Structure 1
Amino acid sequence: MAKYLVCGKYIGEGVQGLLSEGGSGRRSEIHELVGSLGGRVESVYYAFGDYDIYGIFDMPDNNSMAAFSLRASASGMLSVTCIPLMQPEDIDEAAKKTSRYRPPGVDWLP
């Protein structure tokens, strides 16, 4: 399964819903939605700052994560950002791949 950091910001009526249902009520809904898509919730945290809620999810694939984002955002009461997370060993493998790239405005390749 792929791991994602999910950041959410409640918008308008979403804030009112959070106030009336509480954080634990919304957490239960998150578990329900993620589970219905074949995923697993590792953690959910509320915060203040740029985002109101953070979660770490294990999802079967990118399509499942996109389905979560679409469903959660469809109400217009929550803005969702999903960030794929990688293990350090994944970066090791990426660094080993050979590639060529010429930056814009540069007429040479190193």
Structure 2
Amino acid sequence: MSKYLFEANYVGDGIKGLMREGGTKRRDAVVEALKSVGGTLECFYYAFGDTDVLGVFDIPDQASAAALSLMINSTGAVSLTLKPLMTLEDLDAAASKTPSYRPPGQ
């Protein structure tokens, strides 16, 4: 399973739906959506500012994460952004690699 940070903003009718249903119903909808692709919710928070909702979920693979993102964004009621999260061990493995790269103009 891979972890993803999700950030979402309610748009148009999504805001009206949130006000009508409340926050816990929206969290429940996320849990059900995750179940449909084999994922689970780790945490879910509402926030002030640039982001309405954020949290972390586990999902089996990138294709499932992309499918979920496409489905949610296609509604037009929510704008969802996913960020894959790396473990400390993932970063250690990345730091041990030495890719070659030529900067522009050199």
Query: What is aligned with 1:15?
Result: 15
Residue 105 (1) aligns with residue 105 (2):
yes
Tell me by how many angstroms 1:54 deviates: 0.7
Q: 4+ residue runs of structure 1 moved beyond 6 angstroms? A: none
Query: What is aligned with 2:59?
Result: 59
Q: In 2, Cα distance between the equivalents of 1:79 and 1:104?
A: 35
Aligned CA-pair RMSD? 0.7
Q: In 1, Cα distance between the equivalents of 2:78 and 2:65?
A: 16
Unaligned runs of 5+ in 1: none
Which deviates the most, 68-77 or 16-25? 68-77
Tell me by how many angstroms 1:27 deviates: 0.4
Query: What is aligned with 1:48?
Result: 48
Matches within 5 A, 1:65-76: 65-76=65-76
Q: In 1, Cα distance between the equivalents of 2:68 and 2:53?
A: 15
Instruction: Report the AA paired with residue 13 of structure 2.
Output: E
Tell me by how many angstroms 1:11 deviates: 0.5
Secondary structure at the counterpart of residue 57 of structure 1: strand
Q: In 2, Cα distance between the equivalents of 1:27 and 1:82?
A: 16
Unaligned runs of 5+ in 2: none
Deviations 1:8-52, CA, capped at 9 Å, x for gaps: 010111100000000001000000000110001001100011110
Report the count of equivalent residues: 106
Q: In 2, Cα distance between the equivalents of 1:67 and 1:75?
A: 13
Percent identity among equivalent residues? 51
Secondary structure at the counterpart of residue 9 of structure 2: strand
TM-score w.r.t. the length of structure 2 is 0.97
TM-score w.r.t. the length of structure 1 is 0.94
